[in-house]
Amino acid sequence: MKNKAHVLKSLPGVGIHSKIERVDWSNVAQKLNEKGFAVVSKFISASDCKSLIRLYDQSELYRKTVIMERYRFGLGEYKYFDYPLPDSIQTLRENIYSYLAPIANSWMDLLQIEKKFPEKFSELQKLCRENKQTKPTALILKYGVGGFNTLHQDLYGEVYFPIQAAIFLNQPDQDYEGGEFVMTQTVPRAQSKAIVLKPKQGDMIFFTTNFRPMLGSKGYYRVQMKHGVSEIDSGERYTLGIIFHDATS
């Protein structure tokens, strides 16, 4: 087994700061406000995607493996990273948060919710620890033929940040078929709307963890959203999930 410190230091991610800075964050904010999700194309390279996939077999990096069918979550498996996180994933979590926090706080204001998220990621983690949420939630998900993920929300405890991210590590229609990223949007007193996306390898998507504001005739109101993955017809699909709040277990 490789030494964990060696694995952490040997990860890809040189220049990850510049990748984050190059994102059009004003466009991300606009799309999140309008639709509840935003896609950043070609955020990381194909070689970085392959390096992240190779981490899946480095068992010393993970605190927990979940077999989805055991809990009726779907068909497939995912692994939660343990602390300390790999360097590139820690950098993503820390630096992306600072761009998303103002968006999240604007949502709280629009919905007249008396909650304000801290500007710094370290302060969010402190808040999680105070609520006994100490387990990291960054994860890699793996699906094979027939795999899918039921519609859900990644809340994990009393403290949850309303926006999360995912990076797609395989190329659709080349490495796998099917496996679309699916979201549902539920408006009060109306039927749910389905949103189906097919991000490419290296793309990153931001999407709401739980709800988002929507403007109606009487002001803003809360719209519930869930996400999942449609059935894989062939091949394998890997995804890196970046969730900012920690979990109780």
Count other C-beta atoms under 10 Å from residue 195's C-beta. Answer: 16
pLDDT in tens, 38-62: 999 999 999 999 999 999 999 999 9
CA angle 128, 86, 119 (to 5 degrees): 40
179/41 Cα distance (integer angstroms): 18
Task: Please give the pLDDT value at position 3.
Answer: 56
* Residues of the chain under the 50 pLDDT cut: 1, 6, 9-14
Task: Please give the pLDDT value at position 192.
Answer: 92
Task: Please give the pLDDT value at position 5.
Answer: 52
CATH architecture label of 24-242: Sandwich (2.60)
Location of structure tokens 């950098």: 91
Residue type, 185: Q
- Partnered with residue 66 across adjacent β-strands are 78
Location of structure tokens 């009726």: 72
Here the tokens at position 249 are 């277990």
Q: What is the mean pLDDT of the chain?
A: 94
Q: What stretches of the chain show up as alpha helix (H) in DSSP?
A: 4-9, 16-22, 25-35, 46-54, 87-110, 121-130
Q: Which pTM value belongs to this model? A: 0.94
Domain boundaries, the chain: 24-242
Q: Coil, helix or strand for 94?
A: helix
29/208 Cα distance (integer angstroms): 12
Task: Please give the pLDDT value at position 12.
Answer: 47
